[in-house]
C-alpha cells in the first residue's frame, strides 16, 4: 500500500504472493520473510511447494480464503507468464502483478494479446541465479546487490511500478528501469549467448576420454558451469529471445571462423598468423575488463588475489575474519576445490590499492598465495 500521504512511490509491502517455488521464487520468498513481509506460496508441484514451506519460505496460499496481496509474483517459466497473469488477475488476488522471467518482450506481447490488465502488471527480472535449480538451492541473499530490471509499459500504473520497486529493494537488489526491448537485447549478449556457448562447449566433453576430462581444472569448470542449468527452461528462454540471440550468434560465429583460420595457418607453418591470433586474444582481454566486479564498476579497477586454504570447516571464515580485522574490504569471493587434494583456492577481489595490504595480511596470518 501507499504511505500515509497516499504516495505510491513510497509503497510499503506487507503481503506478497509468490507463484512458483523453484530457485527464484523460493529465494525471493526467503528474502521477503527476512524483511518481515508476510509471504504466501503457490505451486502446482506439491513436493516442491512442501520443500519451500519446510525451508521457511512461507505458508501455502489458499485460493478460497487468501487475497488482498500487495503484489503477486509469477516466478514461473516465460511461456506460462501471460496465461497465469490473466488467471490471477481475474481471481483478484492482488493489487499489482509482476514476473521474474529472463525474457520480457514475448510474455508482455502475449499478455496484451489475451487481454490482461496492463495497468496492474509490470515486468521484472532479477539478474541473479545459480546453475542449480529448485527450492533446495534457494538462498535469501541471492539478489543482494544485484540489478533487478523493471520493464514498465506506458499503460502501467504508478502503484504497480512502485510495488515492483519495493519488491526489489526488499530482496536487497537495485532497481534498474529499461524497456522490454532493451532488456532482451542486453540479456541476449550477457546471459543467453554465454549459456548457449557453455552448453555447446560442454557437449564436446560427452564423448571425451575419461583420462582427458580428469585433467580438467578451474578454467573448464568456470566456462562450463552454467551449462548445468535446466535444459527445458533454457530452451524456452532462448526460443523466446531468438531474434536478438541470432545476431550475437552470427557475430560470434564470424570470430570463431577467424580463430579457426588463424590456427589453420599456424598449423601449416605460417608464423605471421600468430600476430592475428594474439590480437584476437588481446581483444578478449579488453572485453573481459568490461565485466563489472561490482554493480556498475569495471574489473579494471580491481585486483584478484588467490589464496590456498585447507578444505576444513571454519577455514574460509577464519580467512575472511582476518581480512576484516585488518580493515580490508573484500568485494567478491570465489572458492574452487583442488581435485584430488584436501585444499581449496579462494579468489579474493579487492580494489587495486588494497591488493598489497591483502597479500601482507594473508602471509602474516600463515596462509599461502596461490600462484
Question: pLDDT tens digits, residue range 167-182?
Answer: 999 999 999 999 999 9
315: domain CATH number?
A: 3.30.70.260
pTM of the model: 0.78
Same domain, 88 and 172: yes
Q: Do 146 and 42 have their domain in common? A: yes
pLDDT > 70 fraction of the chain, expressed in percent and rounded: 92
**What pLDDT score does 5 carry?**
40
Residue 10: the pLDDT is 66
Angstrom distance (rounded) from CA 359 to CA 212: 35
Instruction: Match 540489478 to its residue by C-alpha cell.
Output: 147
Domain boundary among 129, 152, 178: 178
For residue 200, is it within any domain? yes
Is 352 domain-assigned? Answer: yes
What is the CATH classification number for the domain harbouring 162?
3.40.50.720
Give start and end residues of each alpha helix (H) in the chain.
Answer: 23-34, 46-54, 78-91, 105-113, 158-170, 180-187, 193-203, 210-213, 218-224, 231-240, 242-267, 273-288, 315-325, 355-364
Boundary of a domain, candidates 288, 309, 339: 288
Mean pLDDT of 103-125: 97
- DSSP letter (8 states) at residue 191: I
Residues 197 and 311 in one domain: no
Supply the mean pLDDT for the chain: 89
7: confidence class by pLDDT, cuts 50, 70, 90: very low
Q: Which range (101-105, 142-146, 195-199) has the least confidence?
A: 142-146
Query: Within a domain: residue 18?
Result: yes
Distances (CA, A) of 79 to 105, 111, 177, 236, 245: 11, 11, 23, 7, 17
Please check the confidence at residue 95 and state whether its pLDDT lies above 70: yes
Question: pLDDT tens, 223-264?
Answer: 998 998 889 989 999 999 999 999 999 999 999 999 999 999
Please check whether residue 162 lies inside any domain of the structure. Answer: yes
Instruction: Write down the pLDDT at residue 293.
Output: 63
Same-domain status, 103 and 78: yes
Evaluate whether residue 346 is within a structural domain: yes
- Spatial separation of the C-alpha atoms in residues 113 and 85, rounded to whole Å: 12
* Helices and strands in the chain: count of H runs, count of E runs: 14, 14
Does 69 have pLDDT greater than 60?
Answer: yes
With 60 as the cut, is the pLDDT of residue 122 above it?
A: yes
Domain-embedded: residue 2: no
Do residues 138 and 99 both lie within one domain?
A: yes
Residue 266: Cβ within 10 Å count: 15
Average of per-residue pLDDT across 220-225: 90
State residue 201's pLDDT score: 96
More confident residue, 30 or 366: 30
Same-domain check for residues 214 and 276: yes
Taking alpha carbons only, the member of 143, 135, 138, 239 closest to residue 195 is 239
Q: How far apart are CA 71 and CA 95, in angstroms?
A: 6
| pLDDT tens per residue across span 143-152 | 988 899 999 9
Residues 96 and 36 in one domain: yes
Average pLDDT over residues 25-47: 95
How many Cβ atoms from other residues are within 10 Å of residue 364's Cβ?
Answer: 10
Q: How far apart are CA 362 and CA 308, in angstroms?
A: 10
Domain end position, chosen among 265, 288, 311:
288
Is 1 inside any structural domain?
A: no
Position 3 in a domain? no
What mean pLDDT is predicted for residues 315-340? 79
- The domain tally of the chain equals 3
Same domain, 138 and 216: no
Q: Do 263 and 311 lie in a common domain?
A: no
Residue 252: per-residue pLDDT? 96
Strand partners of residue 346: 307, 335
In this structure, the answer to whether residues 99 and 22 fall within a common structural domain is yes
- Structural domain harbouring 88: 8-178
Question: 224 and 344: one domain?
Answer: no
128 and 218 belong to one structural domain: no
pLDDT of residue 366: 85
Amino acid at each position: 500500500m501507499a504511505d500515509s500521504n497516499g504516495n505510491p512511490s513510497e509503497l510499503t509491502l506487507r503481503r506478497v504472493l509468490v507463484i512458483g517455488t523453484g530457485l527464484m521464487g523460493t529465494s525471493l520468498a526467503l528474502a521477503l520473510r527476512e524483511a518481515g513481509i508476510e509471504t504466501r506460496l503457490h505451486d502446482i508441484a506439491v513436493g516442491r511447494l512442501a520443500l519451500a514451506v519446510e525451508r521457511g519460505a512461507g505458508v501455502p496460499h489458499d485460493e478460497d480464503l487468501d487475497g488482498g496481496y500487495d503484489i503477486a509474483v509469477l516466478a514461473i517459466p516465460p511461456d506460462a507468464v501471460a496465461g497465469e497473469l490473466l488467471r490471477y488477475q481475474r481471481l483478484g488476488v492482488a493489487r499489482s502483478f509482476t514476473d521474474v522471467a529472463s525474457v520480457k518482450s514475448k510474455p508482455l506481447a502475449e499478455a496484451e494479446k489475451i487481454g490482461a490488465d496492463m495497468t496492474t502488471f509490470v515486468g521484472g527480472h532479477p539478474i541473479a541465479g545459480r546453475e542449480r535449480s529448485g527450492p533446495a538451492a534457494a538462498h535469501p541473499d541471492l539478489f543482494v546487490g544485484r540489478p533487478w530490471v523493471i520493464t514498465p509499459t506506458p499503460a502501467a500504473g504508478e502503484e504497480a511500478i512502485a510495488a515492483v520497486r519495493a519488491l526489489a529493494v526488499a530482496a536487497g537488489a537495485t532497481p534498474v528501469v529499461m524497456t522490454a526491448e532493451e532488456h532482451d537485447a542486453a540479456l541476449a549478449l550477457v546471459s543467453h549467448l554465454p549459456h548457449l556457448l557453455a552448453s555447446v562447449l560442454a557437449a564436446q566433453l560427452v564423448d571425451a576420454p575419461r583420462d582427458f576430462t580428469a585433467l580438467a581444472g578451474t578454467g573448464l569448470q568456470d566456462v562450463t558451469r552454467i551449462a548445468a542449468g535446466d535444459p527445458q527452461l533454457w530452451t524456452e528462454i532462448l526460443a523466446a529471445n531468438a531474434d536478438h540471440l541470432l545476431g550475437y550468434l552470427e557475430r560470434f560465429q564470424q570470430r570463431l571462423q577467424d580463430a579457426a583460420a588463424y590456427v589453420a595457418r599456424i598449423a601449416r607453418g605460417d608464423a605471421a598468423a600468430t600476430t592475428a591470433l594474439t590480437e584476437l586474444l588481446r581483444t578478449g582481454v579488453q572485453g573481459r575488463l568490461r565485466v563489472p566486479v561490482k554493480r556498475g564498476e569495471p574489473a579494471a579497477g580491481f585486483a584478484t588475489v588467490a589464496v590456498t586454504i585447507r578444505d576444513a570447516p571454519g577455514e574460509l571464515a577464519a580467512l575472511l575474519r582476518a581480512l576484516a580485522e585488518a580493515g580490508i574490504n573484500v568485494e567478491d569471493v570465489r572458492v574452487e576445490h583442488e581435485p584430488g587434494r584436501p585444499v581449496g583456492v579462494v579468489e579474493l577481489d579487492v580494489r587495486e590499492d588494497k591488493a598489497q595490504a591483502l597479500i601482507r595480511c594473508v602471509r602474516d596470518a600463515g596462509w599461502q598465495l596461490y600462484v
